[in-house]
A and B are shown apart, each in its own frame.
Chain A
Amino acid sequence: QVQLQESGPGLVKPSQTLSLTCTVSGGSISSGGYYWSWIRQHPGKGLEWIGYIYYSGSTYYNPSLKSRVTISVDTSKNQFSLKLSSVTAADTAVYYCARLDDYFDYWGQGTLVTVSS
């Protein structure tokens, strides 16, 4: 059973960089076949896809966030990470990592990140 777990600071100051890591267990990122994604959900709102990465390092980002987003992968640790720069209060959200196999079939539990001074 594949499991994903997000980790990182729950509070980030405005203009700083949000950094989160997703640790995958029960399956290897380097086995290929899946895209490893970040998705966020603003409080009380819908779901917004941020981007994904393949085990090889190929990435695709949501054009609406592309200038601020970097997703990277560490196959030795079976982890992938999100960096979102120049954050504002509008980036306050629950951030999920998820596995994309045409559809998002496995999700982490989510982590709330609040942007506030």
Chain B
Amino acid sequence: QKEVEQNSGPLSVPEGAIASLNCTYSDRGSQSFFWYRQYSGKSPELIMSIYSNGDKEDGRFTAQLNKASQYVSLLIRDSQPSDSATYLCAVIAGNTGKLIFGQGTTLQVKP
């Protein structure tokens, strides 16, 4: 089992819809969770970080964390074609400070 798992997609949604991206992790001791957006050939850009169970909202983005289920998700409301990218879920492994990445989910927002 991979430490951080994501569906590679592609996930295709129409413009204006809600995109839902999911991630599961295996280390129950993980405390910090991150979502990065990566455009093709570019570097990962931090979108959201979440540390506590529940929801965290920032503009059109909402991160959701459920530690009991070892599950973290990212919702993108009012999706725009500019949101088309690969979204990487990342988890800090225990107290090592090392970031473990999932393989990423490719999102396509169609006009």
- Asked if A and B bind, the verdict is no
